[in-house]
Amino acid sequence: MAVRKKTKEIAEFGDLQTPLILAERVCAVLSARIPRPQSIVEPTCGRGSFLRAALESFPDAPRLVGIEINPAHVRSARALLRTTPGGGRVEVVQGDFFGTDWNELLRGLDEPILVIGNPPWVTSAALGTLGSANLPEKSNFQKRGGLDAITGKANFDISEWMLIRLLESLNGRRATCAMLCKNAVARKALFHIWKEGIAIGNSSVRSIDADTFFGAAVDACLLTCNLSPGHHNCDCEVYEHLGDARKSGIIGYRDGHLLANVEAYERWKHLCGRSRYKWRSGVKHDCSKVMELRAENGAFRNGLAELVELESEYVYPMLKSSEVASGSTGNPGRCMLVTQSSVGEDTRVIESRAKKTYKYLIDHAKFLDARGSSIYRKRPRFSVFGVGDYTFSQWKIAISGFYKRLAFSIVGPFKNKPVVFDDTVYFIPCKTREEAELVISLLNSAIAKEFFYAFIFWDAKRPITVEVLQKLDLLALAREMGLEQAFAGFVSLEIAPAHSQRQARLFK
């Protein structure tokens, strides 16, 4: 498809018009699967592809309504529908999604209702950069738990907000909501439905080729939610292609978890619990030019290509996420200047302990002081984050959060110093090589892999997160693998009170 050049206006309104051919395919998929709608709504109808395709697939639908903010698109949609049989039944209104009273509008419509479309492809952060006001007004939604939680988030997809707004207004009605959106948005909408107890029957996600149809390099899908009073189905079928008859899997919701693989969860949910180990992130410094170095002829070369002399006291061998992901962990080529051993530690002590290092920091203060993140404000100068005893443990089990591979590596000391990581690496600190070897044998087992696969969405930006890693109770896994005694040699098996109370309740 010919992709329009992205102007500010296109970006601001997330304006990627659906080609008619795709709208027709979507409506053909729906017409074979949902009850004949009495009312059809396209909440951000653009130039009207979905309204036209819906008229073709549901020729008996008595009422169709489209809303669109852009007056030129409204004119195009009206013109398109004038040439479509039955187009006289479609009302295209110029309006703002955020100013529309959706409860009121949907209340007046006969059931079953079909809400169909392709909401704007833009995030609140992008709108902030563009200085755009095409956002929900936060104050309007103070009393709405779900939406309020979203508007409180630093960054959110506008389509996520719109979808949830529509689903909340459709709760308790016989309706289908079928929208093209990013996979990540579809998952957030489903999570919201399931968590908030919205009455839902079947649902599905069917992959679409966003690159071909929209020139967008994202994983996207048709999300279809069949809302049905009295139902609360927490499974969602996954299809690899829009028109597939056979599903490729089921994502779902159980015990408060959003699941990438419901079957795997059902098999291994008894391994879910409090991990005896705490997963940690690598060191965050936001200034790689100054803080990351390469050893060279007894000195260090920084990211500004300067050769500098530093005492060894604050310099540690480091591995980047890509090296951890590829398993190239044996011979770290980089070093990191770690200015603190715990968060908030006074950095002025560096001056007495390592004069050259302190001078280096002062000489490069303009880079460090200019770090944008608010976490550095009101902290000692040259602060870093993600530091504690665990940073300096000699043995670690590490995994990269950025790469789409579930592979854990043992990282031991290098030249008698503990190896540190960048902040996209997650790790467990271990006291000895033996402990690290046992822990990695657990984590790299087929059972652990299947357990984690229950939670990991591989198309997410960061598929592996601390939250996911922390779900696996390594003691329960050791028991499953007959390694409980060996495991007991390294960690306390004492169960914390909160946990034992929960267990007591479970076994009552």
Interaction of residue 136 with ligand SAM, rule CB under 6 A: no
DSSP string spanning 277-301? S--EE-BB-S-HHHHEEEEETTEEE
CB 283 within 8 A of CB 423: yes
Tell me: does residue 98 bind ligand SAM (CB under 6 A): yes
46 binds ligand SAM (CB under 6 A): yes
Among 38, 76, 123, 134, binds ligand SAM (CB under 6 A): 134
Looking at the DSSP assignment, which residues form a beta bridge with residue 180?
222
Q: Which two tokens stand for residue 113?
A: 């209702």
470 class by beta-carbon count within 10 Å (0-12 exposed, 13-18 middle, 19+ buried): middle
Taken in order 107, 112, 117, 120, is the CA torsion positive or negative?
positive
Yes or no: say if 337 and 315 are a contact pair by the CB < 8 Å rule. yes
Applying CB under 6 A, among 14, 37, 282, 401 the residue interacting with ligand SAM is 14
> In the window 259-298, what residues touch ligand SAM (CB under 6 A)?
none
Task: Report in angstroms how near the CB of residue 193 gets to ligand SAM at its nearest.
Answer: 21
Q: Where are the strands (E) in 105-256, listed by range? A: 113-117, 175-182, 200-208, 220-227, 235-239, 249-254
Q: C-alpha angle 302/306/312, rounded to 5°? A: 55
Residue 141 contacts ligand SAM per CB under 6 A: no
Work out whether 73 is an interface residue with ligand SAM (CB under 6 A). Answer: yes
Segment interacting with ligand SAM, rule: CB under 6 A, options 114-122, 217-225, 309-317, 393-401: 114-122
Please report whether residue 24 would count as binding ligand SAM according to CB under 6 A: no
Choose one: 78-86, 118-126, 338-346, 403-411; the region binding ligand SAM (CB under 6 A).
118-126
Cβ 31 vs Cβ 56: under 8 Å: no
Give the integer Cα–Cα distance in Å for 483 and 496. 21
Query: With binding defined as CB under 6 A, does residue 183 bind ligand SAM?
Result: no
Of residues 39, 41, 50, 424, which one binds ligand SAM by CB under 6 A?
50
Interacting stretch for ligand SAM, rule CB under 6 A, among 13-21, 218-226, 252-260, 358-366? 13-21
Asked if 167 contacts 184 with a C-beta cutoff of 8 angstroms, the reply is no
End-to-end CA, the chain: 61
Tell me the number of residues near ligand SAM by CB under 6 A: 25
- The nearest distance, CB 179 to ligand SAM, in angstroms, is 9
Rule CB under 6 A: is residue 156 a binding residue for ligand SAM?
A: no
Of 117-125, 226-234, 428-436, 483-491, which segment contacts ligand SAM by CB under 6 A? 117-125
Contact between 226 and 210 (Cβ < 8 Å) = no
Contacts of 498 (CB under 8 A, 6+ apart): none
Q: Is 169 in the site for ligand SAM (CB under 6 A)?
A: no
| In the complex, residue closest to ligand SAM by CB | 46
Toward ligand SAM, which CB reaches closer, 66 or 252? 66
- The answer to whether residue 45 forms part of the interface with ligand SAM (CB under 6 A) is yes
Interface with ligand SAM, residue 480, by CB under 6 A: no
Name the phi and psi angles at 144, rounded to 5. Answer: -100, 105
Smallest CA-to-CA distance from 185 within 239, 128, 118 is with 118
Q: Site residues for ligand SAM, window 312-371 (CB under 6 A)?
A: none
d(CA 438, CA 434): 6
Smallest distance, ligand SAM to C-beta of residue 490, A: 53
Smallest distance, ligand SAM to C-beta of residue 135, A: 8
Quick check: helix, strand or coil at residue 121?
coil
> Rule CB under 6 A: is residue 165 a binding residue for ligand SAM?
no
Site for ligand SAM, rule CB under 6 A: 13-18, 42, 44-46, 49-50, 67-70, 73, 96-98, 117-118, 120-121, 134
